[in-house]
Amino acid sequence: VGCVVWDAALVLAKFLETGACPLARRHVLELGAGTGAVGIMAATLGANVTVTDLEELQELLMVNIENNKHLVTGSLRAKVLKWGEDVTEFQPPPDYILMADCIYYEESLEPLLKTLKDLTGPDTCVLCCYEQRTMGKNPEIERKYFELLQRDFELEKIPLDRHDEEYRSEDIHILNIHRKQMVGPQ
């Protein structure tokens, strides 16, 4: 699954290109980067990007970084990050976390949510783009993910008319996700 540029990655990359989020000199982390397409786009827009995925995808990420380095105006590096594990080396919290089509294995939901909680600060903006799939267990997995996510995060759907004019689809959604602000004594 990590060696394909999924439609959601194209939609998110082209959304970044619209300039809706100021990325220049921002610290950006891509989770489940796969080919790195989204992170590479962010780096061409001036962000300092770390694309992350499992060990077995590092070689592909390195090749893609190398092949696109002439386009990068920020910085770009690849690192191993396994969801649910220690994120100390990725601190302080990034300005942006990018995720394209990361919700498909039920087993990975809890580790992914733990990683999101561990990585985000109060000002981190998480952009999550996913294709709504109606087959098999997909709807159930999506529903569970968003239910769990909303315990700690607030979600706002970015309207379709703000997506790239050409690279958009009714069944591909982009969510702007922020940590809930804690109120009162902890």
Q: Taken in order 14, 18, 22, 23, is the CA torsion positive or negative?
A: positive
* 3-class state of residue 25 by DSSP: coil
- What distance in Å separates the CA atoms of residue 27 and residue 137, rounded to the nearest whole number? 35
State which residues form the domain around 84: 7-179
Please report whether residue 21 resides in a domain.
Answer: yes
CATH number of the CATH domain containing 41: 3.40.50.150
Q: Which of 75, 68, 120 is nearest to 99 (CA)?
A: 120
The total of other beta-carbon atoms located within 10 Å of residue 34's CB is: 25
Q: Which of 14, 70, 58, 69 is nearest to 33 (CA)?
A: 58
Confidence (pLDDT) at 164: 96
pTM: 0.94
Please report whether residue 112 resides in a domain.
Answer: yes
Please report whether residue 137 resides in a domain.
Answer: yes
| Count of domains forming the chain | 1
Please report whether residue 2 resides in a domain.
Answer: no
Confidence (pLDDT) at 107: 83
Please report whether residue 162 resides in a domain.
Answer: yes
Please report whether residue 115 resides in a domain.
Answer: yes
Please report whether residue 33 resides in a domain.
Answer: yes
Consecutive 10-residue runs of the chain (186 residues): their mean pLDDT? 80 97 97 96 98 95 96 97 96 97 83 96 96 86 92 96 96 96 68
Please report whether residue 185 resides in a domain.
Answer: no
